[in-house]
Chain A
Amino acid sequence: MKRSKFIDNLFSRATLRGITAIVIFVLIWEFGARSEELTGWRMPFLGLVPAPSAVAASWAGLLGDPSYWQSWYMSFLRVFGGFTAAMLLGIPLGLFMAINKTFHGLYFPTFEIMRPIPPLAWVPASIIFWPTQELSIAFVTFLGAFYTIVLNVLGGAKSINKQYLQAAQSMGASQWDIFRRIVLPATLPSIVVGSAVGMGITWEVVVAAEMISGGGASGGAGGGLGFFIWSSYVGGSYEQIVVGMISIGIAGYFSSELLRQLGGFFTPWLKTR
């Protein structure tokens, strides 16, 4: 039953459309990249980009290279480290601001002044005040997700239908029970949305931070995918730049998918809508 559903999905129209789109995209790209050698006329933009076949060949060579996978590993580590810290700090902070007016009044103005500072503007400062380069990259990554998560949690917890709270009160629920069984689940969908957006920003930030901070101690392999792209550019290997870019696309997709699955697991009632 489950298997046939999976196969149905595999051959569904949506999947076919997706595959068709990717094939057409690659074909146009291949033609554009080879336009000068094929027709003598160089297609603008695409004419300067390495062809997908060349990128694939370069990628195939990298698949056996441990330092390429080390880059994946380092970027994932930083993204999930920063992201997890942002969740652990951001969710309680957002909830606490939503339920405690005094704390909201004390903390929110500072929060709103800090929030518009782009995470990347923190790079020099964080390199100065964190003892290791690793910590400073993780900190910048953390900032990328933190503000979005806090704002979403705060907004979600504040917009709870008042009738849920009153219904619970009128059934004799304690403040703690209302928090645990009403406020928290009612905020969960916002937490999931905030995390998904935060995760996206985290990948943007980590790549930029890695480009700025360089290869690190282990001779370049510790630099992550951002540094992988940068060093490919410096070394003049344009195929590898594209490999790095596509790698980040794939990494970002899997991170988001993981969050979607987790989010669906924690909010089963939303699937019924």
Chain B
Amino acid sequence: MNTSTQDNFTANTGARVQEASEIVVSNVSKTYGSGPFSKTVIKDCSFTIESNKLTVMIGPSGCGKSTLIQLIAGFETPDTGTITMNGAPITGPGKDRLVLFQESALFPWMTTYDNIMYGPRARGEGLKEAAKQADFLLAKVGLEAFRDKYPTQLSGGMQRRAELARAMINKPEVMILDEPFRGLDNMSKELMWEYYASLYEEDRNTNFFVTTDIDEAIFLADRLLIMSNLPTSTRSVIEIDIPRPRKIDTLADNQRSNEIKKEVMTLLHEEAMKSFSGGSKAAADFLDAYSKRAE
């Protein structure tokens, strides 16, 4: 684990020296259960999370995206295939690959400040420096006034920002985000997109972001991985060459953005149809009609 933990955080800006950190997933399969109850969730899946890019993975809901995160984070191991980070196989969870979960995983019994300080305190390293960094990050995510509040006293958007801060203080080489803005209302969601994108644009660390939301995917991604339905594999990769910083309102009129959106929608509809119809004629007809309407 923790192959490179040298301190490359510049104390006052929070910006990092760029460093190569690439995750390669090759021919990975994962099956749960055995015998007649077994379910293959991921089959022969390969892709690369390129260094210093924001890779977004999109796929129909219920496909193995969360399982892939469990594998990349090292909480589970693949049945076949390999996952490597900077060439070394992943053997377990580590702070070089930090995960931000779907629902808020802030510890309810800790204040915002204690939550942010959890990582450094758990490892017992550089606590003085970390305390300074925590104050800096609190200011950066706009939560100074909520430093001593518990998570339940924060709004949904604040919780996600606190979680970003809790992750960033650990200076992860790769940030893994599993549908982090799910469940937020549309306004907060769009604000979070812009906020998160600006954080990313500041230091361009390697980020891996999983979502089911096409607009979110196109707004954020440098590279977009489109996943197939179960068992999951990589269906297609699109480079999103829209210049940064992007703006939500102008993106709607952007020709290139709309082309990509149409392409992604077509692919996703095909995949969704496979799972949704599942042999049912009525469901297949409905999806057929729906995809026609979308065109």
Could you list which residues of chain A lie within 8 angstroms of chain B, going by C-beta atoms?
161, 163-164, 166-174, 177, 181-182, 185-186, 188, 267-269, 272-273
Contact = CB atoms under 8 A, between A and B. Distances in A.
B152 to A, nearest CB: 5
A185 B114 CA distance: 13
Contact of A172 (B94, B99, B166): B94
B81 interface: no
Contacts of B150: 268-269, 272
Contacts of A181: 107, 118, 121-122
B122 A167 contact: no
Contacts of B109: 185-186, 188, 267, 269
B153 A272 contact: yes
A159 B124 CA distance: 28
A173 B152 contact: no
A117 B104 CA distance: 42
Interface of B: 2, 73, 75, 93-95, 97-99, 101, 103, 105, 107-110, 118-119, 121-123, 149-153, 166, 170
Contact of A166 (B73, B95, B110, B153): B73
Contacts of A169: 75, 93
A172 B5 CA distance: 12
A161 B98 contact: no
- The interface residues of chain A, by DSSP majority, are classed as helix
Contact of B99 (A161, A167, A268): A167
A185 B95 contact: no
Given A163-B103, A163-B105, A269-B108, A170 B93 contact: yes
The residue among B98, B105, B151 with the most chain A CB atoms within 10 A of its own CB is: B105
Given A171-B118, A173-B122, A164 B94 contact: no
Contacts of A172: 2, 94-95, 119, 122-123, 170
Given A174-B122, A181-B118, 9 more contacts: A161-B105, A164-B105, A169-B93, A171-B166, A171-B170, A173-B118, A181-B121, A269-B108, A269-B151
B118 A170 contact: no
